[in-house]
A and B are shown apart, each in its own frame.
Chain A
Amino acid sequence: MIADAVPPGLILILAVVPAVLLRGRLRQAWMLLVPALSLLNMLALPEGNHFLLPFFRQELVLARVDRLSVVFGIIFHIIAFIANLYALKVEDRFQNAAALVYAGAAVGAVFAGDLFTLFVFWEMMTLGATFLIMARRTEKSMAAGFRYFMVHVVSGLCLLGGILLQVQNTGTVAFGYIGLGTLSSWLIFIGFGVNSAWPLLHFWLPDAYPESTVTGAVFLSAFTTKTAVYVLARTFPGTEALIWIGAAMTVFPIFFAVIENNLRRVLSYSLINQVGFMMVGIGIGTELSLNGTVSHAFSHILYKALLFMSMGAVLHQTGKINATDVGGLYRSMPWTCTFCIVGAASISAFPLFSGFVSKSMVMEAAALGDLRLVWFLMLFASAGVLHHAGIKIPFCAFFSHDSGIRCREAPLPMLLAMGLAAALCIGIGVYPQPLYGLLPFPTDFQPYTAGHVISQAQLLLFAALAFALMLLSGTHPPEIRAINLDVDVLTRMGGRAFYRLADRSLNALNAWADEVVAHRLVRRLAEFFRMPSCNLQRVGFRALALFVGNHQWMRERISLEASRCEHGMHPIGVGVLRAVVLLTILTILVIFW
């Protein structure tokens, strides 16, 4: 079986070549075929380590197949297929190639069995993602892509430093449980943390994702953060810091999401909030919580991609994405609106939708661990999700006020991709057993108890009641054409301040060096070497004058010598002639005596 297989991820990456060369329907067929082929290849691999390569007395493992890697592998392939279907009409070689490399690298990272292979795929993901952002080819997207690249290069270096120290400490490149303690473990932890969008390290995400292409955002929403969730689940399960990091992640972005005008940026903040639940699950580190993290990552990838697809469709059809510019589109785009509502219900964790069957595992794990504050924070965040993703996204785009925009429904491939994602969201919500069967640990978790369904429905619908009452009474905050500062103000303004500082200090140094070296020094040297002997004598006479006093005869002597130098009238020639004559006579005498 394995003789026919290749390392997971490789097919997607190598598929770039035909994807770039082919055109039209052939390319479309190829883009849909590749994720399916790659998935079949992955499923053909039995559990265990495969494709071992010797590397500097170490062994690289290109495919470590176990329950954790397979479940991430499956969802990554599903979403690669859906996103490729969504992007079927995109005839842009640059974007198609970046998307395939990005997806392939994510799959490769998930199956990497050693830290070096992981690092290579990790960096490849950064490249793919950067190009997906820049592929929009606007000034803003180029700048955002560059900032994304810089942040991830720095975090990649942090990770690389950690990996090198880790290999030095432990003598092995094996990629397994690490746990916090040594410097190397902290460097790796933080390297992973940047990609997980931890608080204060999160700014790249709401900065870059909303600036990416319509289709690129769908890929981006799935891979970078969820690969980070996977690696943290493997290397740092049960690390208490992750509980608090995760709890903070669930809460702080929802406040930003409430006041954000760009609907794809709202989704970006919402993404951080959802990854927060996964972090808490990893931090708790029990079988139930880790199952919760993995199942939540699985459902999250689908509903988040669905929401990004629906907002992408709005942007694609209207050219607008700000809540103040769109609205009332449900008549023009009824299908997109329906799919968006399915995504909104799923992320809000309404019973019968996918978020419900996965988030409840993390909540229950926190409750069983008696993490009261964390539990309350997550419950607060659950009500918050309803506001920004459950209500704001569909309400602002499709209802709210009538923007006057009358556009066509999204193209068929986009609708099919959204429909497929929506069907999976409902399918997982209604019948979660197949997903539970894929989880790392066996589980008999029952999400559909009467008490649980009623509690969750009460939480969400009474939050919705608050929305309805505030809207009807006119106390709901308006959407405003504005941007909101985030931590990136420090990097952006810090970057500008650094630029100014460098401009003033280094450029001033440069100007001074230019004046002194290039102008004054060179001029002096040129003057000196124009008449070196004369100048040398002049220096000598001046030094002598210091001792004997600057007499009249000394000044006359100096000007006489200067005049002789200038006219080549140095008496040196006479002295030399005398010496030569004398030496000649002496030689003759010595020879003939």
Chain B
Amino acid sequence: MNKNPVNVGPNPSPLIRPRTLKAALAVFFAVLGALLLAEGWAHRHVIFPWEEWYGFYAAFGFVAYVLLVFVAQYVLRPVVMRDEGYYDR
């Protein structure tokens, strides 16, 4: 993800082994599934009607994150980004 790779040590080994990463992702997806299932089971006290929509919080979290990142990257960044020495000139 980094555009400017920096000096990597003498014997670069992957930070996290692919097997560990796969296992972690599997656990993560399992937790996500369990959370969606748990919503049907749990009794919830809601204030706003939309809180009762199935998966409202999950969908909101996902969409909000994507929206935030894309707006920051494609709207804000082109407007405000300057090189590091901008104020030193």
Alpha-carbon distance between A458 and B38 when the two chains are bound, in angstroms: 10
Interchain Cβ contacts under 8 Å between A and B, 30 examples: A255-B72, A256-B72, A256-B76, A259-B76, A327-B2, A379-B60, A379-B64, A380-B68, A383-B61, A383-B68, A384-B64, A384-B65, A386-B65, A404-B7, A406-B9, A450-B42, A454-B38, A454-B57, A456-B57, A458-B36, A458-B39, A461-B35, A462-B32, A464-B28, A466-B61, A470-B69, A479-B1, A483-B82, A485-B79, A485-B86
Alpha-carbon distance between A547 and B71 when the two chains are bound, in angstroms: 84
> Out of A258, A325, A330, A402, which one reaches B8, CB within 8 Å?
A402
Main secondary structure of the interface of A (DSSP, over half): helix
Known contacts A255-B68, A255-B76, A458-B55; is-contact A450 B44 (Cβ 8 Å): yes
Q: Decide if B17 is an interface residue (CB 8 Å cutoff).
A: no
Alpha-carbon distance between A478 and B2 when the two chains are bound, in angstroms: 5
Q: Decide if A467 is an interface residue (CB 8 Å cutoff).
A: yes
Alpha-carbon distance between A465 and B57 when the two chains are bound, in angstroms: 13
Known contacts A255-B72, A367-B48, A383-B65; is-contact A459 B4 (Cβ 8 Å): no
Q: How far is the CB of A262 from chain B (nearest CB, A)?
A: 10
Alpha-carbon distance between A256 and B71 when the two chains are bound, in angstroms: 10
> Out of B45, B60, B69, B73, which one reaches A449, CB within 8 Å?
B45
> Out of B15, B45, B47, B57, which one reaches A458, CB within 8 Å?
B57
Q: How far is the CB of B24 from chain A (nearest CB, A)?
A: 10
Known contacts A450-B42, A455-B51; is-contact A461 B2 (Cβ 8 Å): no
Q: How far is the CB of B84 from chain A (nearest CB, A)?
A: 6
Nearest chain-A residue to B85 (Cβ)? Answer: A483
Alpha-carbon distance between A327 and B9 when the two chains are bound, in angstroms: 12
Known contacts A258-B72, A454-B39, A470-B69; is-contact A462 B47 (Cβ 8 Å): no
A binding-site residues for B, Cβ under 8 Å:
254-256, 258-259, 324-325, 327-328, 330-331, 364, 367-368, 372, 375, 379-380, 383-384, 386-387, 399-406, 449-452, 454-468, 470-471, 474, 476-486, 492
Contacts of A459 in B (CB 8 A): 57-58, 60-61
Residue of B6, B77, B81 ringed by the most chain A CB atoms within 10 A: B6
10 A-B pairs with the lowest CB-CB distances in the bound complex, closest first: A451-B44, A258-B72, A383-B64, A477-B73, A466-B65, A459-B61, A463-B65, A463-B61, A450-B42, A462-B61
Alpha-carbon distance between A478 and B36 when the two chains are bound, in angstroms: 31
Chain B residues numbered 21-35 whose CB sits less than 8 Å from any CB in chain A: 25, 28, 31-32, 35
> Out of B15, B38, B44, B80, which one reaches A484, CB within 8 Å?
B80
Alpha-carbon distance between A404 and B7 when the two chains are bound, in angstroms: 6
Known contacts A451-B46, A461-B61; is-contact A401 B1 (Cβ 8 Å): yes
Nearest chain-A residue to B8 (Cβ)? Answer: A404
Contacts of B64 in A (CB 8 A): 379-380, 383-384, 463
Alpha-carbon distance between A328 and B59 when the two chains are bound, in angstroms: 31
Nearest chain-A residue to B63 (Cβ)? Answer: A466
Q: Decide if B5 is an interface residue (CB 8 Å cutoff).
A: yes
Residue of A404, A456, A463, A484 ringed by the most chain B CB atoms within 10 A: A463
Q: How far is the CB of A92 from chain B (nearest CB, A)?
A: 26
Q: How far is the CB of A163 from chain B (nearest CB, A)?
A: 35
Contacts of B1 in A (CB 8 A): 400-401, 471, 474, 476-479
Contacts of A402 in B (CB 8 A): 8-9, 12, 15
Known contacts A400-B1, A477-B73; is-contact A451 B45 (Cβ 8 Å): yes
> Out of B6, B28, B48, which one reaches A404, CB within 8 Å?
B6
Q: Decide if B3 is an interface residue (CB 8 Å cutoff).
A: yes
Nearest chain-A residue to B37 (Cβ)? Answer: A454
Q: Is the CB of B60 within 8 A of A492?
A: no
Nearest chain-A residue to B28 (Cβ)? Answer: A468
Contacts of A331 in B (CB 8 A): 15
Q: How far is the CB of A480 from chain B (nearest CB, A)?
A: 6
Q: Is the CB of A466 within 8 A of B48?
A: no
Alpha-carbon distance between A325 and B55 when the two chains are bound, in angstroms: 39
Q: How far is the CB of A100 from chain B (nearest CB, A)?
A: 32
Q: Is the CB of B61 within 8 A of A324?
A: no
Q: Is the CB of A259 within 8 A of B73?
A: yes
Known contacts A454-B42, A492-B87; is-contact A325 B6 (Cβ 8 Å): yes
Alpha-carbon distance between A460 and B28 when the two chains are bound, in angstroms: 12
Q: How far is the CB of B13 from chain A (nearest CB, A)?
A: 8
